[in-house]
Structure 1
Amino acid sequence: MLNDDASRQDVVSASLPDLRREFKTWFSWAPSRSLIASIRSYQRISSDSMFGLAVKKTAILRHRFWSVVTGADIPIKCQIGGGLLMPHPNGIVIHPDAIIGPNCLLFQQVTIGQSKGGVPIIGGHVDIGAGAKVLGAISIGDHAVIGANAVVLRDVPSGATVAGVPAVVVAGDGR
């Protein structure tokens, strides 16, 4: 029998980013992690000194390279919480103004975009299945799960699982 402490170790935090999920060794082939590393590198530099500008230019070139390799359209200035996982980054499209919380999981062909004047706010530890579309000025709660090919046009409560076109809640607890 597991005690409460042991079962809590399996729960991923919705507020504290786990940067080990993004870690990449120097010469390993991990295109999605390299793309995220280029974005983090660009956002980390705030100096307008000659060195800072050179590092930013290098980060932009890295970002362009890894965007082509992965086939993902993730703007270099978008707001992504730490610990993002993209096992298959091909076809992922994120609107520049969208906000993605920490420890999220995005599969291939996911679109997070604008509709009717607003962009989504994705909570922490949200899993978004392959081909899902999250559109409009909506909010996705922490620990939510969005099924493959779902089209989400309404708010999703925390811990809920949604599926379908348009997406509806199919389970109350997504963990």
Structure 2
Amino acid sequence: MRPKVRSHVILVKSILDYQRFVSRTDWLGKGLKLYASLRHKFWSTITASDIHRLASICADLDLPHPTGIVVHQNAIIGPRCVLMQQVTIGIVASGIAPVLGSDVYVGAGAKVLGGIHIGNRAWIGANAVVLEDVPDDCTAVGIPARIIHRI
């Protein structure tokens, strides 16, 4: 039985490989950076996603359905986060990108925009448009998102 290809794992690995080799100036480092860049472009095309190679992500980022995900280059995504399909992590006029804490779940189609902080263990509902900070252990739902404190 052939093992299942997990494209999102390979996409995240290509981003982390690129970041590891980006500062190397020797010929091997440049070759490895080029290889990681080509892998990133290939898997970005396959998954129809646009996660910038310089975005700060953790190796355990989970993209169960990686189609249509957009992550700005200045975004910071903490450990064990889950981004569903069609999620955008981006900027508004200020040019500052969001910071996601650890164990954040972002539902399908959600938009997290601007220089905001999403707290640890926060949930962002499907199709929510989040423009303000979300505290730890809270849920944000709606357009624009409103904060619901979980007990």
The two structures have a TM-score, normalised by structure 1, of 0.80
Which of 149, 152, 174 is equivalent to 2:130?
152
1:116 positional shift: 2.7
Q: 1:54 aligns with which of 17, 21, 31?
A: 31
Which residue matches 1:73? 50
- Specify the code of the residue in structure 1 equivalent to 2:30: L
Identity %: 48
One-letter amino acid of the counterpart of residue 59, structure 1: A
CA distance in 2, matches of 1:56, 1:47: 8
Structure-to-structure mapping, 1:7-22, within 5 angstroms: none
Unaligned 5+ runs, structure 1: 1-26
Asked whether 1:32 is paired with 2:8, we answer yes
* Partner Cα distance (1:70, 1:135) in 2: 22
Amino acid at match of 1:115: V
In the alignment, structure 1 residue 111 sits paired with structure 2 residue 88 = yes
RMSD: 1.2
Q: Which runs of 4+ in 1 moved over 6 A?
A: none
Question: Aligned pairs, how many?
Answer: 147
| Deviations 1:116-139 (CA, angstroms, capped at 9, x unpaired) | 312111111100000000011111
Normalising by structure 2, we get a TM-score of 0.93
Please identify the structure whose Cα radius of gyration is greater. 1
User: Are the aligned partners of 2:65 and 2:85 in contact in 1 as well (CA < 8 Å)?
Assistant: yes
